[in-house]
Amino acid sequence: MTERSSFPERASIRTDLAVEARQFLTQQGHPVPGVTIEEEESQYAKVSWVKITSPAGAQAMGKPPGNYITIESRYLRQANRVVQEEIGQILARELEKLANLAPEATVLVVGLGNWHATPDALGPRVIDELMVTRHIAQYTPEELSEGLRTVCALAPGVLGITGIETGEIVKGIVQNVRPDLIIAIDSLAARSVDRVCTTIQLADNGINPGSGVGNKRLGITKETMGVPVIAIGVPTVVHASNIAYDVIETLLGQMKGELDLGIMGRLGEADKRQLIRAVLGSEMGDLHVTPKEIDTLILNLSRVLAGALNVALHPAVKPEDMYRYLH
Amino acid sequence: MTERSSFPERASIRTDLAVEARQFLTQQGHPVPGVTIEEEESQYAKVSWVKITSPAGAQAMGKPPGNYITIESRYLRQANRVVQEEIGQILARELEKLANLAPEATVLVVGLGNWHATPDALGPRVIDELMVTRHIAQYTPEELSEGLRTVCALAPGVLGITGIETGEIVKGIVQNVRPDLIIAIDSLAARSVDRVCTTIQLADNGINPGSGVGNKRLGITKETMGVPVIAIGVPTVVHASNIAYDVIETLLGQMKGELDLGIMGRLGEADKRQLIRAVLGSEMGDLHVTPKEIDTLILNLSRVLAGALNVALHPAVKPEDMYRYLH
Amino acid sequence: MTERSSFPERASIRTDLAVEARQFLTQQGHPVPGVTIEEEESQYAKVSWVKITSPAGAQAMGKPPGNYITIESRYLRQANRVVQEEIGQILARELEKLANLAPEATVLVVGLGNWHATPDALGPRVIDELMVTRHIAQYTPEELSEGLRTVCALAPGVLGITGIETGEIVKGIVQNVRPDLIIAIDSLAARSVDRVCTTIQLADNGINPGSGVGNKRLGITKETMGVPVIAIGVPTVVHASNIAYDVIETLLGQMKGELDLGIMGRLGEADKRQLIRAVLGSEMGDLHVTPKEIDTLILNLSRVLAGALNVALHPAVKPEDMYRYLH
Amino acid sequence: MTERSSFPERASIRTDLAVEARQFLTQQGHPVPGVTIEEEESQYAKVSWVKITSPAGAQAMGKPPGNYITIESRYLRQANRVVQEEIGQILARELEKLANLAPEATVLVVGLGNWHATPDALGPRVIDELMVTRHIAQYTPEELSEGLRTVCALAPGVLGITGIETGEIVKGIVQNVRPDLIIAIDSLAARSVDRVCTTIQLADNGINPGSGVGNKRLGITKETMGVPVIAIGVPTVVHASNIAYDVIETLLGQMKGELDLGIMGRLGEADKRQLIRAVLGSEMGDLHVTPKEIDTLILNLSRVLAGALNVALHPAVKPEDMYRYLH
C-alpha cells in the first residue's frame, strides 16, 4: 500500500480515491474548477469518470491531472460470481479504452504491496493469478501467438522487506524489458468505510508519492519510467480518524436548525481534528482499519482484477472466459 | 470468534472484556454492585482482577459471575521480545493460579476460530504452536515424563466450515478424552481500538454464548462440559459502531457547559445509536474492523500465548524457556 | 496420512491401493483367490472395481474384505479442467452408488491429515472447499432445502498436533451428530511413482490401521463408529524403497535368459530388501518422497474431490455445476 | 530452482553439488585433474573445500572453475536448535571469508525460486526472514549505523509467473542499486537422497545456467552482472532416476566376483540409463522427488540461512544472536 494522497491544508481528510475527494469537496461547499464528472449505472455497478484538467482542479482535489475511472458496487463484498463477472467485464472494457494498445505492445504489470499483510496483498495476488506470455512469445512463431499480447509481471515486495524503493526496482525492469505500458495494481486507503472493497479505481497518471516523508520516494509515472502508467487501485483500509470525522459531520448536520449552536458554529476543521485526536488517542490516530473478512475479500478481488486484465490485454481471451485462465 | 457478549438494554455497546464493561458502566455513572476490581502495574504491563460475585453485578456487566483477569500492555503491538516474555510470564503465572492443577491432571486446549480469517485465527495458531504430550504420556513410563502434564489440543474450525456447533465437537472430545480442565482460546471483540491486540483476558467461567441468535448455541462452560473451563481471549477486532459511539460521547462531553444543549439534553442512548446507524449505514453498522498489521500481530500473540501455556501447564518448562518448545 | 497398510510377510512392499496390491501379487505369480476385478476405460480415465470376498483374499491382498473402486488418469497431473471435470463426475457417480443414501440422510465428511505438510494436506483442503449444510438445514423449512442433504465436515488434525487419536475425535463427533454415513478423505502411500496424484481410490470398509505400532490405534470403520464408512484416498507419496525395488525387479527380468544367474537365482525377497537397505541407507530407508510440484497437485485434487462430493451428496447440485459451489 | 548442472556426456547423472560430482567421478574411476579437495569435521558437521582450477577439471566436473564450500550434517533434518546454530555459525564464518567485504560495502541478496512450490521456496523464505538495512542506511548518520552493512534483498519470482528471466530482473536492480556483491540463494537438485536438506553449498562463481534449453538464459555471474556473485544452495529435491541409478550400481557391485557377469560386463552407462527409463517410464523419467516433511525442512533451513547471513554481513550481529533479528 502506497501512502500517496497528501491533501492540501484545508482538506484534512485522507483518501486515495478521486471520486471521494470530489464528493468531500462538494459537501464542504468548495467550488471544484477544472474537474468534470460523468456517471453511468448498470444493474450491479456505477461507473464514474472524473477528469482533472487544470492545476487549480489538481490543487483542490489533492491529485495530479488525469483521468480517474471509478467502478463501484456494494455487491462486490458478497461472494456473488454473477456480480464479479459483470464488474470484471466493465473493468476490462474501461482498461482497454484507457490503455489503447497496439497489437504487438508489451505490457508490464506490477503488483505493489506486501504478500504477508492481508489488506496490502492485493497487488501480489493479482500477479500470482495473472496469465503471463512474454517468456512464451519470445520463442513463438507469430502465427501461433495471435490474439495474445506480450505480458510480463512482477510483485517487487515492500521497502521493509527489500530495502529498495519499489520505483527503483520497477525502473530497472523497464530498462531491460522496455514495455510500452506499465499497469500498477495497489491497495488504497479510502475515506469512508462504505468504499472498502467495493470500489475499483483506474487512473492514467500512475502512482504518485505524496509530498511529505514520501517526497523522497520515486513515483511510478510516465515522468519517472518513460512509458505510460495506468494505476488500478482498490481501497482495502480506512483511517480510523475518518470514521470519527464522519460521525461528527453527521451529528452537526443533524443538530443544525434545532438550536443556536454556540460553540458548534465555531467548530472549524482544526477543532474537529483535535476532537478526533482526543477520541482516538495519539497511538490510534494513525490506525488503519480493515474489515475482519479481509482474507476472503482480497481473494475474490484478486480474481476479478486478474480476470479483467486477461480479457483487456489479450484479444483472444473473450469476456465470458474471464475466469478461465486464472492460475 | 464467538459473538458472545449480549449487553442488557441500557448498555448498548458491545464488548467481550469485563474490564471494559466495568469502565463503561463507571463512566456512565451506573453503580456496579457485586463487582470488585484490583489492579497492579509492572514495567510493561497492568494486571486487573475483576470479580463478579452477584446476579446484580452480572446483570449490570452483561457477563456471568466469575473471575476475570486482564493483562494490558500497549507494548504488545510492538515486536519487542523482552515485552513479550514479560507478558507471557505474567500470563503463565495467572493461568497457573487460576487452573490450580494436580500434577497428573489432563488438560484439553481448544483453539476457537477460523484459520482462514486472520483476525479470527489466534486460537488455531496457538494450537499449532503448542506442545502436546497426551499421545506420548499414554505410552511413557511415569519416571520419564516427570514435570510434564498430559496436554491435548484441538482447533475444531468454525460453523460455516464444519456445519457443527463448536460446543458439540468439544463435548464429543470431552466424553472420550475426559480432561480435568478445558482451556479455550478465542479472538474477541473490544469496545475500544486501544484494546485491540494489547489486552489478554482470562476468565474462569468459560465461553458463554449470548442470548440472541446465539442462545441456540451450546456454550463451553462447566455446566455444558462437566469440567472447569478457563477462557483466554484477546480482542482482535472492534465494532465500527464503537468508534462512532466514543466520538459522540467525547463531543458531547466537550460541549457541556458551553451552551444550553437543546436537543443535546434529549440525546439518549437510542438517539445515539440512531445517529451511529445514520453515519455508518445499514451495511456498515455491523462492520468489525481490525488493524491493517493484523497478520503480524496475530503471529506474535499466538507465540506469547502458546509459550505461556507451555510454562503454566508443565512444571518442567521454566519461564525463561517459554519460547523454547514452540513448534 | 494414515500409515495403514501392513503387508503380510511374503509381500514386503507397502501400498495403500488395492489395485496395486493385486497387480503386485499377480506379477509375483501368487494366486489371488477370493478377489475379483472388473475394468472400464473412458477417454481420460480407467475405472477398476476390485472386490475382496474371502478371508484368503484379504490375507493375500493385505486388506480387509470390501469393495475398492479405483479411478486412474495420468492426465490428472496436468492442470486440465476438462479432464478434472470428467474425473470428478466419475467419482461423484461411483460415490453415489457406493453410498446409496436416503434423501434425508446426514453425512459427516472427515478430512484426515496435516494442514502444514503439503503432501498430507489433501483431506483438510477438501473440507475447506466443501459445501456444508447441516447448520442451515437444522433451522430451514423442509421445502427450502429440497435437493440438499445434511452434510457436516471436520479436519481433526494429526496426532502430533492434537495429542488425540483421530479415531477418538471422530467417535466423539459421531456420538453427538449421529450421521448415517462417514466419508473419510486421506492422502495415501503408493507403491509406484506412476500412481502419485493420478489415482483416486474409494473403499466401503473405512480406514483400517495396520497391525504393527498402529494396532493400538482406533480405526475409522463401521465396527468402531457404528455407521458405514467410505474412504476416499489419493496416493501423494511413495516409499523411496519402492522405487529401488522396481529397479531391481526390472533389472533381473531383463537379464533372465541371458546368463546363468548364479547368485541371481538365489536372490529372494529378503535379499532384495537387504540390497535396498544398502542403497538407501538406514536413515533413508523409510523416506517417503513426493513430486516437487506437490503444492499445485494437491490444490487441483482437492477441488476435484470437493466438487465430486458436492455433486454426489446433493441431488440439487448437477454434475455440470461441480465447480460452482466450492469455497 | 534453477536447473543448471549440465553434465558432459559420460557423466550422465545430474547434480548441482560439486562435492557429489567429485565423489561420483572418483567412484567411476575417472581421474579428476585440476580439482583439489580439503575436509574438516566438527561435532555435528563436515566442511569440504573443493577448488576447480583448470579447464580440464571444469570439464570433468561439469562445473565452472571456482571455490565450492560444502557444509554437511545429517542432523539438519532434525529440528535441533543446537545443531542449527552450529551449522549457521559455520556458514556465517565461511561466507564472511569468501565475501571479504569492505565495511561500507553494499550487498544485494537474491532469493531465487517459487514461493508457491514448497521445495523451491527456500530462496524467497530467506528473503522474508532477512534483516535489510539499505533503506535505513540511506537516511542514517554514519555513527548510528556502525556495525551494520548496507543490505537489500529481492525474491524476483520464477519465469512462469513473471514472464521475465530472473537474470534480467536482477540486472535491472544491479544497474540501479550498484551493489558490491550479490548473494544468490537457491534450491538445488542432489544426486543422492542423503543430501536432500542436509547439505549447504557456497560457491564464488555465481549461478550458471546449463547449456541445453537453459543456454538462452542469462546466468547470474560476475560476467553478466559486473560484480562478484556468491551462490548459496541447498539440495531440496532429487531426480527419481538417480535413486534408480544407485540401486543398479550397488546391485552390480554386490554381484561382482560372484559370477561371470555375461551381459553385466557389457552393461555400460547407456544401458543403465535405458534400464532406468524402463523402470520409471517416460513420464516419470524427469520426476523430481522431495521428502514428505519438506514444509518443515524448508522452514528450518530458511532460518539457518537468514540467521547466518545476518551474522556474516553485519559485524554488529554476534554469532550467538544469529536467531535474534529474524523477522
Neighbours of D, requiring at least 3 CB pairs below 8 Å, are A, C
CA distance C183 to chain D (A): 25
For residues C22 and C227, the model is more confident at C227
B291 and A287 within 8 Å at the Cβ level: the answer is yes
D295 and C116 within 8 Å at the Cβ level: the answer is yes
- Three-state SS at A300: helix
D292 and C289 within 8 Å at the Cβ level: the answer is yes
A278 and B250 within 8 Å at the Cβ level: the answer is yes
Q: Residue A258 has what pLDDT?
A: 53
C134 interfacial to chain B (CB closer than 8 Å): yes
Are A244 and A235 a contacting pair, CB within 8 Å?
Answer: no
HSE, side-chain direction, 13 A CA sphere, residue B244: 32
Least confident of B92-106, B297-311, D240-254: D240-254
Are C142 and C135 a contacting pair, CB within 8 Å?
Answer: no
Residues 6 or more apart whose Cβ sits within 8 Å of residue C263: D255, D258, D259
Q: Count helices and strands (H / E) in chain C.
A: 11, 9
CA distance A247 to chain B (A): 6
Nearest chain A residue to D216, by CA:
A139
Nearest chain C residue to B171, by CA:
C172
Q: Where are the domains of chain C?
A: 10-241+286-321
Q: Residue B254 has what pLDDT?
A: 65
- Three-state SS at D180: coil
Q: How confident is the model over C142-194, as pLDDT tens digits? A: 665 678 999 999 999 999 899 999 999 999 999 999 999 999 999 998 888 88
Residues of B in Cβ contact (< 8 Å) with C159: 135
D168 and A164 within 8 Å at the Cβ level: the answer is no
B249 has pLDDT over 80 = no
The DSSP result for B246-280, as a single string, is HHHHHHHHHHTTTS--GGGGG--HHHHHHHHHHHH
D121 interfacial to chain A (CB closer than 8 Å): no
Residue showing cell 531391481: C248
Nearest chain A residue to B259, by CA:
A262
What cell was used for B144? 520419564
What cell was used for B114? 477460523
Using CB atoms, which residue from C115, C153, C168 is nearest to B162? C153
Are D230 and D108 a contacting pair, CB within 8 Å?
Answer: no
HSE, side-chain direction, 13 A CA sphere, residue D218: 17
Angstrom distance (rounded) from CA B209 to CA B9: 17
Least confident of B55-64, B82-91, B308-317, C1-10: C1-10
Q: How confident is the model over A214-266, as pLDDT tens digits? A: 334 678 999 999 999 999 999 999 887 777 777 777 777 766 655 445 555 55
What cell was used for D118? 514448497
For residues C266 and D155, the model is more confident at D155
Mean pLDDT of A191-209: 89
Q: Residue A29 has what pLDDT?
A: 76
Q: Residue B284 has what pLDDT?
A: 54
Which CATH architecture best describes the domain A10-241+286-321?
3-Layer(aba) Sandwich (3.40)
The DSSP result for C19-70, as a single string, is HHHHHHHHHTT---TTEEEEEEE-SS-EEEEEEE-SHHHHHHHTS-SEEEEE
B127 interfacial to chain C (CB closer than 8 Å): yes
A187 has pLDDT over 60 = yes
C118 and D118 within 8 Å at the Cβ level: the answer is yes
A156 and D159 within 8 Å at the Cβ level: the answer is no
First-to-last alpha carbon distance for chain C, in angstroms, is 23
C29 interfacial to chain B (CB closer than 8 Å): no
Q: Residue C122 has what pLDDT?
A: 97
* Pairing verdict, β C66-72 and C199-203: antiparallel
Inter-CA distances, A304 with A148, A297, A298, C196, D269, Å = 19, 11, 10, 33, 53
Q: Residue B216 has what pLDDT?
A: 46
Residues 6 or more apart whose Cβ sits within 8 Å of residue A282: none
Which candidate, C132, C138, C139, C135, places its Cα nearest to that of C153?
Answer: C132
Residues of D in Cβ contact (< 8 Å) with C236: 292
Residues of A in Cβ contact (< 8 Å) with B263: 255, 258-259
- The Cβ of residue D248 has, within 10 Å, a number of other Cβ atoms equal to 22
Beta bridge partners of C233: C186, C201
Please, where are the H alpha helices in chain D?
18-27, 55-61, 81-99, 122-129, 134-137, 159-162, 166-177, 222-225, 240-255, 269-284, 294-313
Amino acid at D150: T
First-to-last alpha carbon distance for chain D, in angstroms, is 23
Are B20 and B227 a contacting pair, CB within 8 Å?
Answer: no
Q: Residue A44 has what pLDDT?
A: 92
Neighbours of A, requiring at least 3 CB pairs below 8 Å, are B, D
B67 has pLDDT over 80 = yes
- The Cβ of residue B167 has, within 10 Å, a number of other Cβ atoms equal to 20
Looking at every residue in chain B, the average pLDDT score rounds to 83
**Stretch 188-247 of chain B: residues touching chain A, C-beta under 8 Å:** 193-194, 236-238, 240, 243-244, 246-247
Q: For chain B, give the percent of residues with pLDDT over 70.
A: 82
Amino acid at C8: P
Please give, one letter per residue, the 3-state secondary structure of B73-116: CHHHHCCCHHHHHHHHHHHHHHHHHHHCCCCCCEEEEEECCCCC
Angstrom distance (rounded) from CA A274 to CA A12: 12
CA distance B298 to chain C (A): 18
Neighbours of B, requiring at least 3 CB pairs below 8 Å, are A, C
Are B309 and B126 a contacting pair, CB within 8 Å?
Answer: yes
Inter-helix orientation angle D166-177/A166-177, to 10°: 120
C169 and B160 within 8 Å at the Cβ level: the answer is no
Inter-helix orientation angle A81-99/A294-313, to 10°: 50
Q: Residue C1 has what pLDDT?
A: 60
The alpha-carbon radius of gyration of chain A (Å, integer) is: 20
Angstrom distance (rounded) from CA D207 to CA A22: 53
Angstrom distance (rounded) from CA D226 to CA D205: 12
Classify residue C299 by burial, with Cβ atoms within 10 Å: 0-12, 13-18, 19+: middle
C255 and D264 within 8 Å at the Cβ level: the answer is yes
The alpha-carbon radius of gyration of chain C (Å, integer) is: 20
Q: Residue A46 has what pLDDT?
A: 95
Classify residue A142 by burial, with Cβ atoms within 10 Å: 0-12, 13-18, 19+: exposed
Residue showing cell 455491523: B286
| Strand ranges (E), chain C | 35-41, 46-52, 66-72, 106-111, 150-154, 181-190, 199-203, 229-239, 288-291
Are A172 and A99 a contacting pair, CB within 8 Å?
Answer: no
CA distance D316 to chain C (A): 35
B71 has pLDDT over 80 = yes
Angstrom distance (rounded) from CA C30 to CA B128: 46
Angstrom distance (rounded) from CA D218 to CA A138: 14
Q: For chain B, give the percent of residues with pLDDT over 90.
A: 52
The DSSP result for D1-64, as a single string, is --------TT--S--S-HHHHHHHHHHTT---TTEEEEEEE-SS-EEEEEEE-SHHHHHHHTS-
- The Cβ of residue B311 has, within 10 Å, a number of other Cβ atoms equal to 26
What cell was used for C196? 502419485
C169 and B152 within 8 Å at the Cβ level: the answer is no
CA distance B176 to chain C (A): 6
Nearest chain A residue to B297, by CA:
A117
Q: Residue B1 has what pLDDT?
A: 59
User: In whole angstroms, what separates CA A228 from the centre of its chain?
Assistant: 16
Mean pLDDT of A80-85: 88
Inter-CA distances, B290 with A79, A234, A286, B287, Å = 21, 18, 13, 10
Mean pLDDT of B102-118: 94
Nearest chain D residue to A109, by CA:
D162
Q: For chain A, give the percent of residues with pLDDT over 70.
A: 81
Angstrom distance (rounded) from CA B309 to CA B200: 13
Residues 6 or more apart whose Cβ sits within 8 Å of residue D238: C289, D189, D190, D191, D192, D193, D195, D196, D288, D289, D290
Q: Residue C150 has what pLDDT?
A: 94
Using CB atoms, which residue from C156, C157, C177 is nearest to B168? C177
Beta bridge partners of D186: D233
- Three-state SS at D301: helix
B163 and C152 within 8 Å at the Cβ level: the answer is yes
HSE, side-chain direction, 13 A CA sphere, residue B91: 32
D29 interfacial to chain A (CB closer than 8 Å): no
Q: Residue A218 has what pLDDT?
A: 79
C290 and D291 within 8 Å at the Cβ level: the answer is yes
Query: Low-confidence residues of chain D, pLDDT below 70?
Result: 1-14, 139-145, 209-217, 254-269, 273, 275-286
Inter-CA distances, A172 with A128, B190, D171, D185, Å = 21, 46, 7, 21
**Stretch 283-322 of chain C: residues touching chain D, C-beta under 8 Å:** 283-284, 287-296
Angstrom distance (rounded) from CA B227 to CA B179: 7
D263 and C275 within 8 Å at the Cβ level: the answer is no
Least confident of A278-292, B13-27, C19-33: A278-292
Least confident of B100-109, C306-315, D243-252: D243-252
Neighbours of C, requiring at least 3 CB pairs below 8 Å, are B, D
For residues B287 and C215, the model is more confident at B287
Angstrom distance (rounded) from CA D248 to CA D246: 5
Q: How confident is the model over B153-193, as pLDDT tens digits? A: 999 999 989 999 999 999 999 999 999 999 999 999 888 88
In which band, very low, low, confident or very high, does the pLDDT at B244 lie, cut at 50, 70 and 90? confident
H-run or E-run covering C292: none
Q: Residue C8 has what pLDDT?
A: 31
Which candidate, D173, D199, D207, D168, places its Cα nearest to that of D20?
Answer: D199
